[in-house]
Amino acid sequence: MIDIKKIGLIYNATRKENSEIIDKVERYLHGKGISTWRGKTGVENSDWKFLKESLDFALVLGGDGTLLGASRILSPKSIPMFGVNTGHLGFLTEGRSADILNLLEKVLNNEYRIEERTMLCSHILNSNPLSGENGPMFALNDIVISRSQSYSMINITLNVNDKPVADYIADGLIISTPTGSTAYAMSAGGAVMDPEIHGIEIVPICAHSLTSRPYIVGDNKAIKITFNRPHEGSVLEVDGQERFPVHDGDHVSISRSAHTAKLIRLLGEESDFYWTIRKKFHWGLTAK
């Protein structure tokens, strides 16, 4: 359990109500003798990628996107995250902001568990040796290679442990963690994965083939994507939030990150994965 002395307060500052909620939370925590640090997302001058604060955990206020963005900064520092939903779906977060002090009180009373979620680590390996490489780029949900604004499909080969596995002519390829299997990968026809599975899901996007299917490899495998034709305009997308250009001749490597996202989950059924997908995705419910 966490001996709590300092808590990070990370919030989507594009919503005015979030600032008001954070003010309330800060007063509450200061009244308990707990110091705080604030980090804003969604606004200019909110770049805290080089966070140097020593935090026991971070309260992340917003939707799933806010938590995804925070995970890429906090997870390499092994800082646990407690997400409270003020967004739409709130698949990765807990409860609603109206109950935030009650939810926080449960964490302070050690009524929680920590789920460690697999993350991906990606590099763009440049064709020009003098250019080096771009990376590492971390993702909690997925790494996506796409044609972006280009009108042409991309022609790529997927390699696993340096062995060619499949060729795709497609709009792109999704490389997903079990956490991300309920996001873009699911929308593109991939399988829903239990977050405890040690696997990486590979889902082609609109492949020009009748035989291309999603499949899952062990998360101890090294994945490399090479391009078979010129592909200027292609991009690598991290959790749907950050975009990096992939130039002609580059290739992309993806593997399991050495870091995991540590999610604070309250005890009870509402933090259970299967309860969540049934309640929020209406999974397996009969039509009425």
Which residue(s) pair with 10 in the sheet? 39, 60
Can you identify the CATH homologous superfamily of domain 119-258? Probable inorganic polyphosphate/atp-NAD kinase; domain 2 (2.60.200.30)
- Extract the runs of DSSP E, i.e. beta strands, from the chain: 6-12, 35-41, 57-62, 81-85, 94-96, 112-125, 133-139, 142-146, 154-160, 163-170, 172-176, 199-205, 215-218, 223-227, 235-238, 242-245, 251-266
Tens of each residue's pLDDT in the chain, 288 residues = 567 899 999 998 888 889 999 999 999 999 999 999 998 887 666 656 667 778 999 999 998 999 999 999 999 999 999 999 887 767 788 877 778 999 999 999 999 999 999 999 999 998 766 666 688 999 999 999 999 887 789 999 999 999 999 999 999 999 999 999 999 999 999 999 999 999 999 999 999 998 889 999 999 999 999 999 888 889 999 999 999 999 888 999 999 999 999 999 999 877 788 888 888 787 777 756
Q: pLDDT tens digit string along 61-111? A: 998 999 999 999 999 999 999 999 887 767 788 877 778 999 999 999 999
CATH class, domain 6-110, is alpha beta
Q: CA of 7: how far to CAs of 37, 74, 97, 114, in Å?
A: 6, 12, 17, 16
CATH 3.40.50.10330 domain residues, the chain: 6-110
Catalytic annotation present for 219: no
Q: Which of 23, 64, 99, 248 is catalytic?
A: 64
* H or E stretch at 276: helix 273-281
pTM of the model: 0.91
